[in-house]
Structure 1
Amino acid sequence: MKTVLITGANKGIGFETARQLAQQGNFVYIGSRDMTNGQKAADTLKAAGITNVAAVQIDVTDIASIRSAKETLSAQSGVLDVLINNSGIAGEQPQQLADGSMENLRNLFETNFFGAVQTTQLLLPLLRLSAAPAIINVSSEVGSLAMHSAPDRRTNWNSYSAYGATKTALNAFTVMLANELRAQNITVNSVTPGYTATDLNAFSGFKTVEEGARPIVQLALSSDRTITGKFFQDGGEVLW
């Protein structure tokens, strides 16, 4: 059994990831910025017979909140096997980089990038106590520079330019942190759920949350310690 923390897990892909991992016998902390929402999510799973879950308040943009969550995990579990940096916001529209709001861009980076970095930094001591620690950064294909650079790139991705830039930065964090932690046997990978129907995109995605969570769950349960510094989607790797 693994002990897992998923940020932003009270709804959407995060909640479904929590459900699938807990169903497979792992203990899952449902991280939520609002504790009431997190507790409702945990209660929903418990009502369905999935009792190996607990809510924890964690706002990835608030250092004090992350420290408090760390203290809770330390007191209750003493170790963290898998950290899934799932918290993210889509930002406001329009968000093209040529003329988009700098305030919107900063807000996006604060949650999607800096939030993941500082959450990881503060929880690394608990991960180092695990026999097989893993960090999973939930990214997006709109963060792939290779896909944006392809001749047949999707022009409608321009609507997600600012959001995509935060995911590109998150992918860079994945590669560089993987290199830093390789000798410590801590794996670090990015994964994209794909275009999944959640409130992040007003439920316009073509994948279900069950499908979107699948590659995250597979990576979280992987026992292959050589897989690190990679970018995955359902079915294989994604070009950076």
Structure 2
Amino acid sequence: MKLLVTGANRGLGLALTTVSIKRGHTVFAGVREQGDRTEALEQLQTLFPKQLMILPLDITEESTCDHAAQHVKASVGTIDAIINNAGLLTERDKRIEELDMNEVHKTFNVNVYGPMRVIKHFLPILSRGDQAGIINISSEAGSFANAYGGDYPYAMSKHALNMFTEQLRHALKGTDISVLAIHPGWMQTDMGGQDAPLSPQEAANGIVDIIERKKHIQASSSFIDFKGQPMQV
């Protein structure tokens, strides 16, 4: 399979890229800027030069999303999966009275509008085979049932992402394209911290299993966890 992974330079994005390549897939690893190429990602490209293409892709700029899609189309024609992994967590633990609304806007620009831009430009080159899929990396923080009165920009943006995912699932009904919002669990990343119980690799393995359709998804909505189990909306 040929996969696009945004935010591929670290954390879950790097784990998704690594797991996918080691399973034999080809990955277009989206990174915002040249300087975002981490040593780990560079080493991976050295080891797997034919399977990993590092792709300049700033999801906050529509022109770069369009350019990246045209580059991928010219290179390989079509892709099989879009994984919108890039995300932002700001204004952590701030009360509503303390919020910087510029940071709220920035969060929505990355967590909601970013995936929308990517899908807008990459959907036309997404294959229509029986393994085609769109994965939006979400969070349990985006669930009404799990509202906790904090992290307003992050939680609200992830709920909006869940709604976009469900809308897209209905829009693509009748195709073979799987459309899912996945809660990857609390992971040991820069965002999750080192006290988290999961490694990014564990979450990535579960998500790639879902992409490869090794798990039977029984959820009535598009919101599930990395094990394929339904999440409360």
User: If the length of structure 2 is used for normalisation, what is the TM-score?
Assistant: 0.89
**SS of match in other structure, 1:200:** coil
**1:12 match:** 11
Of all paired residues, the percent bearing the same amino acid is 26
The runs of at least 4 consecutive aligned structure 1 residues that moved more than 3 Å come to 38-42, 46-51, 93-99, 128-132, 201-204, 223-229
**1:154 match:** none
- In the TM superposition, 1:172-187 aligns within 5 A as 172-187=163-178
Q: Against the structure 1 CA distance between its residues 7 and 113, is the aligned structure 2 distance closer, same or farther, given a 3 Å change threshold? A: same
**1:192 match:** 183
Mapped to 2, the partners of 1:122 and 1:108 lie a distance apart of 21
**SS of match in other structure, 2:203:** helix
- In the TM superposition, 1:154-165 aligns within 5 A as 157-165=148-156
**What value does the CA root-mean-square deviation take over the aligned residues?**
2.3
Matched, 1:232 2:188: no
Q: Against the structure 1 CA distance between its residues 38 and 162, is the aligned structure 2 distance closer, same or farther, given a 3 Å change threshold? A: same
- In the TM superposition, 1:195-234 aligns within 5 A as 195-222=186-213, 229-234=221-226
Deviations 1:7-59 (A, max 9, x none): 00011100001110111111011110013433755431144457511100101
1:166 aligned residue (153, 157, 169):
157
Q: What number of residue pairs does the alignment pair up?
A: 231
**1:193/1:214 contact within 8 Å kept:** no
Mapped to 1, the partners of 2:122 and 2:97 lie a distance apart of 36
Unaligned runs of 5+ in 2: none
**1:31/1:55 contact within 8 Å kept:** yes
**1:58 match:** 57
**1:113/1:169 contact within 8 Å kept:** yes
**1:143/1:165 contact within 8 Å kept:** yes
**2:139/2:158 contact within 8 Å kept:** yes
Unaligned runs of 5+ in 1: 149-156
**2:17/2:27 contact within 8 Å kept:** yes
Please say which of residues 159-168 and 32-41 is displaced more in the overlay: 32-41
Deviations 1:180-210 (A, max 9, x none): 1012322110111111111124444332111
**SS of match in other structure, 1:123:** helix
Matched, 1:25 2:16: no
**2:91/2:153 contact within 8 Å kept:** no
Please say which of residues 19-28 and 212-221 is displaced more in the overlay: 212-221
The letter for the 1-side match of 2:224 is: F
1:66, CA displacement in angstroms? 0.3
Q: Which has the higher helix share?
A: 1
**1:108/1:166 contact within 8 Å kept:** yes
Deviations 1:67-120 (A, max 9, x none): 111011101110011000001011133444454221111110000001111111
- In the TM superposition, 1:137-148 aligns within 5 A as 137-148=136-147
Please say which of residues 221-230 and 30-39 is displaced more in the overlay: 221-230
**SS of match in other structure, 1:9:** coil
